[in-house]
Structure 1
Amino acid sequence: MTRPTIVLTGGGTAGHVSVNEALIPVLRDKQYDIHYIGSHDGIEKELIRRHQGVAYHAIQSGKLRRYFSVKNFTDPFRVVAGVGQAYRLLKRIRPSIVFSKGGFVSVPVVLAAKLANIPVVAHESDVTPGLANKISLPFAAHIFTVFESTLDYVPADKSTHVGAIVRPELFEGKKEEGLRLTGLTGSRPVVIVMGGSQGSKALNDMIRDDISNVLQSYDVIHLCGRGNRDASKEGMEGYVQIEYATTELPHLLAASDYALTRAGSNAIFELLALEKPMMLIPLSASQSRGDQILNARHFESLKLAEVIEEEQLPMVPASEIIARLIEAEPVLREQMKKASDVKTPEQMVNLILLHEN
């Protein structure tokens, strides 16, 4: 008997990959042949190759920029080439469905799937669709959204609000293991600082510029991004720099009491599921399309998080930002206990497979 086949796609940042990673074990249990189409050098290649039994295929893709760059003139040709490569892959693999998590590498795959008459299910994590998903959504058979308000920005007749997909392994983190990994004692509250998979100079500078004051009351786990360690602060008691966390992240979160973080959808919903009081520092509008600002303001309106704009960081020391978070903690914890807008990976897979050929 031939096993059913699914193609997953998405990349560029860890947020465009983590949902797919959550679905892979469920699809494997359902005896699906799993293929992943990503870029040649994106973070998705590294992350997906950790999963046994998933065939990874690299195609060309062009970054979709909202600013001037010479590459804006050449990347459309890379996208066209990627469509051709994806089309040939899909005709050979013959999946019953494609699941797209977004990111620039997903565009050629979605277009190729449409040409090959293979249904595409897309997933949008942010309040408003990103540029890649805006291009792809007209070709999707169905669209799932994390935020209910996103339904105002996508075709209503083929869209469903499902909430966030939270990886079960996040709940398996052990505080003791997190303390062992970091060398912290657990005698003081722990603040985890997360700047996203690529790191954040603004968040790195914020915590480091005031680290002496912060360490008077708290220990700090600092996920600073690859290549962003500060050698001058290595060995400071209570301050641990980690460039990037994968399988150890659940333990690091279990060991943490508070979070200072960017406002990517996946990260903030995971912190919500773990009931970690969080201060959101969204990527500024000058550096992005403003999706993190919308995410942060939505959480703030529901009293699920505190928010400070990136532009304010140079004027407000980290110790004061943490103090503000501590002050809001009782309200945040009360509201987080009421929130339940999440799906398990198994529930999500079942919804996706409703649309396969």
Structure 2
Amino acid sequence: MNKYIHKVSVENRCKFCYADTMTRIILSGGGTLGSVSPLLALFEEMQEKIPHMKCVWVGTITGPEKKIAEGYGIEYKSIASGKFRRYFSIQNFLDILQILVGFFQSIFFIISFKPSLVLTAGGFVAVPLVWAAWILRVPIHIHQQDARVGLANKLMAPFATLITATFEKNVKYFKNKNVVVTGNPLRKDLACLDKTEAVDFFGFSENLPVLLVMGGGTGALVINKLIADSFDQLIEFCQIIHSTGEGKMIYLKKNSRYRAYEFLYHMGLSHAYAASDLVISRAGMSTLTELAMFAKPAIIIPIPYSHQEDNAREFENKNAARVLHQNDLTPEKFVKIIQESLQDKNLLKTFSENIGKMFPNDAAKKATEEIIKIIR
């Protein structure tokens, strides 16, 4: 009897110990959706590879990442955040106070949550969190997805345990650091669908090409205006799926060849990619990675004077997309380029083949393998 009681108590103790070894991970990024997609891709992969994992997303108070993270069942916590500008602004002084507040919020949260890892793909909201994690000796993983290293990642990189990168060229920016080139992680909730089914999903005809227009996670007013100003000409020769951005819906006259959405989620986005013959897009790396996965011919309009120009250049140099400069565009020129592109089947084929070769398909798997090595 005593042996039996001893055996049961040992089993109970082991169960308690096993529960106590929960792997807790903080994901951090936001403000815009640029840093969100690779984190979601890693979250999906880690769910499969790391048993008994609990994740919390640390983001901005008002950013769009909250709704998306909670849609994936990830608990969300907001902290104060500010931005370091490379030019003089009174807002810089106010933001320093916000960053200090965010730093102390991060200290208290890390102490209470006891994470095994802090994981970020950039964004200024993650900066005070990473600094706090380093002080408290929590391993830190930074993913560098863009061709140009942003200021937030530059501020966090000296404290990183592991850095993964999309491009080989990124390695030289992180001297004396553990840098692994993985490509850019891509979410698994995007599916390759049948084109006929996708065209029918939007109520379109198979006899006209489909143009997908996206302005990035928060939309692009300039691209929206181009569509509005060239609408009558465009619908003469194509059908349009338009992701305008939240709160940036444009109201055009009702037409059977035009479908507008503030944001395309999951299967809606998968249908849009499958239906489209050509995509108009900003040059955020998450969107470019999706275009590569679906091998979609694209015309890229990067945000001027930003890291997006570097991203676009990587694709242009490999003849994987056409790059247009926003400041040079007029509605007439825009329409002409789209019409010529849709009519040039050889060009579309070349872009499709080349963009499909831009990235490996197992970036999330490679990055997760590296993460598992550093989790304590």
Distance apart, 1:263 and its partner CA: 0.6
Gaps of 5+ in 2: 1-17
Paired amino acid for 1:138: P
Q: Secondary structure at the match of 2:276?
A: coil
Q: Secondary structure at the match of 1:160?
A: strand
Distance apart, 1:335 and its partner CA: 2.1
Preserved CA contact (<8 Å) 1:128 1:153:
no
Distance apart, 1:22 and its partner CA: 1.7
Of 27, 50, 55 in structure 1, the residue corresponding to residue 71 of structure 2 is: 50
Q: Residue in 1 aligned with 2:4?
A: none
Q: Residue in 2 aligned with 1:100?
A: 120
Alignment of 1:179-194 (within 5 A): 179-194=199-214
Of 291, 313, 319 in structure 2, the residue corresponding to residue 271 of structure 1 is: 291
Q: Residue in 2 aligned with 1:309?
A: 325
Are positions 1:33 and 2:54 aligned together?
yes
- Aligned CA distance change for structure 1 residues 324 and 70 (closer, same or farther; 3 Å): farther
Distance apart, 1:81 and its partner CA: 1.1
Q: TM-score, normalised by structure 1?
A: 0.92
Alignment of 1:113-132 (within 5 A): 113-132=133-152
Preserved CA contact (<8 Å) 2:230 2:332:
no
Of 95, 99, 102 in structure 2, the residue corresponding to residue 82 of structure 1 is: 102
Q: Residue in 2 aligned with 1:297?
A: 313
Q: Residue in 2 aligned with 1:239?
A: 258
Distance of 1:193 and 1:354 partners within structure 2? 40
Distance of 1:318 and 1:260 partners within structure 2? 10
Distance of 2:109 and 2:203 partners within structure 1? 47
Distance apart, 1:190 and its partner CA: 0.6
- Answer with 1 or 2: which has the greater Rg: 2
Q: Secondary structure at the match of 1:192?
A: strand
- Aligned CA distance change for structure 1 residues 324 and 143 (closer, same or farther; 3 Å): farther
Distance apart, 1:204 and its partner CA: 1.1
Distance of 2:164 and 2:326 partners within structure 1? 30
Of 34, 39, 43 in structure 2, the residue corresponding to residue 24 of structure 1 is: 43
Distance apart, 1:176 and its partner CA: 5.5
Distance of 2:169 and 2:198 partners within structure 1? 36
The superposition leaves residues 157-194 of structure 1 with CA deviations (integer Å, 9 ceiling, x where unpaired) of 42121112122222344545644553323331111011
Distance apart, 1:86 and its partner CA: 0.7
Distance of 1:336 and 1:196 partners within structure 2? 18
Paired amino acid for 2:147: V
Q: How many residues align?
A: 351
Identity of paired residues, percent? Answer: 31
Q: Secondary structure at the match of 1:220?
A: strand
Structure 1 window deviating more from structure 2 (239-248 vs 98-107): it is: 239-248
Are positions 1:346 and 2:362 aligned together?
no
The superposition leaves residues 68-110 of structure 1 with CA deviations (integer Å, 9 ceiling, x where unpaired) of 4332111111111111111111111111111111111110110
Are positions 1:142 and 2:158 aligned together?
no
Of 13, 24, 27 in structure 2, the residue corresponding to residue 8 of structure 1 is: 27
Distance of 1:178 and 1:203 partners within structure 2? 24
Of 332, 336, 339 in structure 2, the residue corresponding to residue 323 of structure 1 is: 339
Distance of 2:204 and 2:360 partners within structure 1? 33
Distance of 2:71 and 2:108 partners within structure 1? 25
Q: Residue in 1 aligned with 2:8?
A: none
Distance of 2:254 and 2:215 partners within structure 1? 21
Distance of 2:223 and 2:122 partners within structure 1? 25
Preserved CA contact (<8 Å) 2:192 2:294:
no
Structure 1 window deviating more from structure 2 (99-108 vs 172-181): it is: 172-181
- Aligned CA distance change for structure 1 residues 218 and 315 (closer, same or farther; 3 Å): closer
Q: Residue in 2 aligned with 1:151?
A: 171
Q: CA RMSD in A?
A: 1.9
